[in-house]
Chains A and B, each alone.
Chain A
Amino acid sequence: MKKSTTNSRILHIFMMISLLFLGLILYMSYFELYGKGPIMANSYNRRLKANEEDIIRGQVFDRNGVLLAATEVKEGLSNRSYPYKNLYAHVIGYNSDLYGKTLLEAAYNDTLLGINASGFMGNMVSLIKGEEKTGNNLILTIDHNLQLKARELLGKRRGSIVAINPKTGEVLAMVSTPDFNPNEASLEENWGSISTNENSPLLPRAVLGLYPPGSIFKVVSAVSAIEEGFIDFKIEDTGSVVIDGKTFSNAGGKAYGELDMTSAMAVSSNVYFSMLSEVLDPKALLDTAEKAGINKNINFDIATKKSSIESVIKSKTEFAATVIGQGKLLVTPLQMALISSGIANNGVIMKPYLVKSISDKNNFILSNTFSRKLYKFTDSNTAELIKEMMIEVVKNGTGKEAAISKIVVAGKTGTAQNEKLIEGNGNDHAWFIGFAPADDPEIAIAVIIENQEQGGGQIAAPIARKLMSEWIKNSEKQ
C-alpha cells in the first residue's frame, strides 16, 4: 500500500471533519448573536415563567416614590398587588398567572425580573449571599396626586385624560375610563364581565382609543395654513357656506361676521376653516399632520394605535371636512396631547415616556430615561402664532371654561361627531387640548369625554382647567 497517498487522504477526511466542527461553532455563534432574538419570547419557552417563580418581581413607584405595584410573598406564593386598584389599570396594566401581562408589566417584564444585563451584578451578589433574587423597580413619570385628580374628574363618564410635561415628554397623568381592578383575585372574579362589557373597560383609551378629533384638529389645519402663507386669510362668516354642493355650517348656525384666523379659531368657525380648505393644498395638510405624528407609530413605553388621516383626498367637500376635523380622521388622546405639547414647546414634540428611571431593590438608580425630541412639528414662529390663537380661545372664545385666574391658558375645544364609533348613539365626544401657563408651559393636556350632550367647551374645558391648576398650584408650592 502506498502510504503517502493514503495518509494524505486521511488528512483530507480530518480536514473535512474539522470543517464540519467549525460549521457547528459558527452556526452556534450565529444563533446566539442573531438567530435566537425572535424566538426566545415564545410562550413555549417555559424559562420565562420559571424565572418568574424564582425572582421577586420589582416594584413600581410614581415620580415621588408612592408605591403603585408590589409583589407580596406569602408562604412561598407570590402575588402582585396594586394598592390603588383601578387607578393604574391602564398604565401599569396587570401581571396575572391566568390572564398574562399587559402594558408596563409586559413591556418591562425583563427589567422587573432583573433578567437583563443591568440587574446581573446585583443578582450575583444575592446569589452568593443566598438571598432570593429580586427584580428591578420602575420609577414612573406619573404624579400620583395628578393621576388621582384626573381619575376623579372623569368620574363615571367614559373618556380619557393625558397630561404631559411639554418640555420633557414626561407623562404626568394618563387615565382611561371605564377601568377595572387589576389585582389577581378581582380579575379572576370579574373577568367574565370586564372582558365582555360593551364599554370595553380593558381598553386603554389613552393609547388605543381612536376618535374623530372634531374642531381640535383646526390647530393642525391652522399650522399648515400659516406655513403655506395664509396667515392673513379673512372671510365674511354668514353662518354657513356651500362647498361643491355640500353645506358646512357653524355650531348652532351662528354667523360671526368678519373673521381672521385668530377670531375664527376662538369661535371655532366651521365656515372659516372650510373656506380655508379651498386655498389650502391637501398635500400640505397631510404633510403637517404627519409631522405631528399622525399616520406614524408612536415610539412609547406601551403599545399605541396609529392615528390616521386619509392620504388621498378625493373631493373638495371631503377635504373641507378634514380641515374642520370631521373628515376621515382618527386620533388617540395621546396623539392630541402630543400636538398640544408641540405647540407649547415652540413646535417641537418631545418623545413621551412613562418610565423615568430604573432602580435596584436597594433603590439605587441603575438608569435614567433622557428626554429627547420626537418630531419637529412646526417652526417656533408658527407655534407662537398658534399659541396666541389658543390663548384667545380661552380668553374670549369657546374655551372660557378652561381659564385659570392669574394664569394664561392656551387651548382649543372640540365636539366630534361620533357616528363611526357606536351605532345608534348620536351624542358627540367632547374634546379639549391645551397647556398652561402659556408663557412657560408646565403641562400640556388632552381631554376627551365620550357621548356628551354638550360640547368640549362645556364638558372638557372645565376638567382641563381643574387638572392644570392642580398641577401648577402644586408645583408652585414645591
Chain B
Amino acid sequence: MSNYYYVQEKQRRPIVPIHLVALIDLSLFALLSFRSGELNSFFWILGATKIVLTYLTYIMLKKFKMGETYITSIVAMILSIGLVMQLRISTDVGFKQFIWYLIGMGIFVATSSFYHLVHKRMRSIWFFYALMIILFMITQIIGVRVNGAKNWIVLGSVSFQPSEFIKILFVFFMSSFVSNPEALRLKIHDKRIHPKWTLMAMVFVLLGFFVLQREFGTAMLIFMVYLAIVYVFEKAIIFVAINAIISGVGALVAIQIMPHLKVRVDSWLNPFADIAGKGYQITQSLFAIGSGGFFGTGIGLGYPHFIPNVETDFIFSAICEEMGIFGGIAVIVLFSLLIYRGIKICLGLRDPFTKSLAFGLITTIGFQTFIIIGGVIKFIPLTGITLPFVSYGGSSLISSFLILGLLQALSGSILREEVFEGEKIHNE
C-alpha cells in the first residue's frame, strides 16, 4: 500500500523544489559573505550546513517513508529568507538564530520520528487544560515583562515564552474535545448542558488570561483557531456567531477600559498623531516598507535596524525593505503553499482527533502569519507576535518546528496505518 503511494509520487513529480532551496541558499549565503569580507568562511559554513541539513531531512523522509516531502521544503525556503535576514541585521543574533535552527531541526526529527508512539495517549482534555493554566500561573508568578507583555519565564540563563507552547497545547486541547466532547458534558440541577458551552466557558477563561498578560496577539490567534475548529467539527454556525458576537463586544469593552489595548487601536488608526511615542514602531515599519519599493533596496543596503524589535515582531518589514514588496509577497506565497500542503494532509485524515490536530496546527500557522504581517503593514492593529520560522527567538523557532514535526508525523504512513488500521488512504 504505502509502496504504491511513494512510487506514484516519484513518477508524477520530479524532486525539483529541494534543489531550488539549495540554489537559493547558495546565492543568499554567497551574497552575505561577499558583503562582509573577513567573515567569509563563516557564512559559507552556515550556508553549507543549511543545504546539507535540507537534503538530509529530505533523504530521511524518503528513506523511512515518513510522509510527504513538501512541507519541509517550503519551510526550508522560508528559513533561507529568515536566517539570511537575521544574519544581515546582526551576525551575532543571526548566529544564535542559526543555533536555534539546528536545535529546531533536532526537535523536528524527534517529533516526526517518534510522535506516533505517544499519539494515542495525547487526548486528555483536562490534562491539556490544566497544563495551560499551570503555565499561565507560573508566568504570572515568576514571569518577566518584555515590551509591555508579561510573558517570559526566566530560569537562570534560559528564558522562554510559554505562550509559544500554549498555542500548541491549545490545539491538542481542542482536538481532545473534538474526539470526545462528552468529557465536558456537565449536569447542573438535573439539567444537562451541551459540552460546547462548557468548552466556550473554558476558552473564554483562557482568553481572559492572555488579555491580562497583555498578549493580545496570542489571544486573537487562539480565538481564531478555536472558531475555525468549532466551525469545521461542530458544524454549529449559530454557536460560532454567538462566540464571535460575544468576543466582539468583549473586545470593544476591553478597548475602552484597558489603556494598553486602546493605545494599540489608536496607533493603528492614526500612528502619525503620536509619531514620537506610541506610533513610533509602526511608522518606522511603514517607512521601511515604503523605502524598499517593489524590488527592495537589496540585501544589506537598507536600514532595517531603524525599526525597533526588527529581529522579532518586525522582521517582515525588514524583508520588505531589502527584498521589496515582491520579496514580502514571496514570503506570503510560501506560507500559502505551506498551508495548502497542511490542509491537504488534513483532508486525507479520518480520525477526528488526528484530523482536528492537523487542522488546528496548520490554521495556527496561517492565522499567526496573518496577524503579524497584517500588524506590521498596518492592515490590522499591531499585536506583538512572531512570524513562524522567520522571527528571532528560541521559543518561537522551537514551537514552529514542533508544529512542523507534528504535521510531518500526521502525514506519515506509520501513523496513518495505525489510525486507519489498514484503511485506504484518500490523499490525492
Binding site for B on A (CB under 8 A): 1, 3, 5-7, 9-14, 17-18, 20-21, 23-25, 27-29, 31-32, 36, 39-40, 42, 44-47, 50, 127
Contact = CB atoms under 8 A, between A and B. Distances in A.
A133 B53 CA distance: 39
A127 B297 CA distance: 12
A232 B287 CA distance: 65
A28 B303 contact: no
Contacts of B343: 10-11, 14
B166 interface: no
Nearest to B377: A28
Interface stretch (B99-107, B242-250, B332-340): B332-340
Given A10-B232, A24-B379, A32 B275 contact: no
Given A6-B355, A27-B379, A44-B275, A21 B290 contact: no
Nearest to A14: B343
5 contacts: A13-B228, A17-B339, A23-B379, A39-B287, A47-B291
B63 interface: no
Main secondary structure of the interface of B (DSSP, over half): helix
Contacts of B280: 44
Nearest to B275: A44
Contacts of B352: 1
Contacts of A28: 289, 320, 325, 328-329, 377
Contact of A40 (B290, B303, B336, B373): B290
A439 B373 CA distance: 68
A9 B233 CA distance: 8
A17 B352 CA distance: 22
Contacts of A44: 275-276, 280, 283-284, 287
A243 B171 CA distance: 92
A14 B367 CA distance: 11
Which of the listed residues A3, A17, A25, A47 has the most CB atoms from chain B within 10 Å of its own CB? A17
Contacts of B339: 14, 17-18
A47 B304 CA distance: 10
Interface string B411-423: 0000000000000
B371 to A, nearest CB: 9
Interface in B368-384: 369-370, 373-374, 377-379
B286 interface: yes
B114 interface: no
B272 interface: yes
Contacts of A9: 231-232, 235
Contacts of B328: 28
B287 A42 contact: yes
Interface string B158-188: 0000000000000000000000000000000
Nearest to B363: A13
A291 B359 CA distance: 70
Given A40-B291, A45-B287, A46-B306, 7 more contacts: A3-B350, A12-B232, A14-B339, A21-B335, A25-B329, A28-B377, A39-B286
Nearest to B287: A45
Contact of B336 (A12, A21, A32, A36): A21
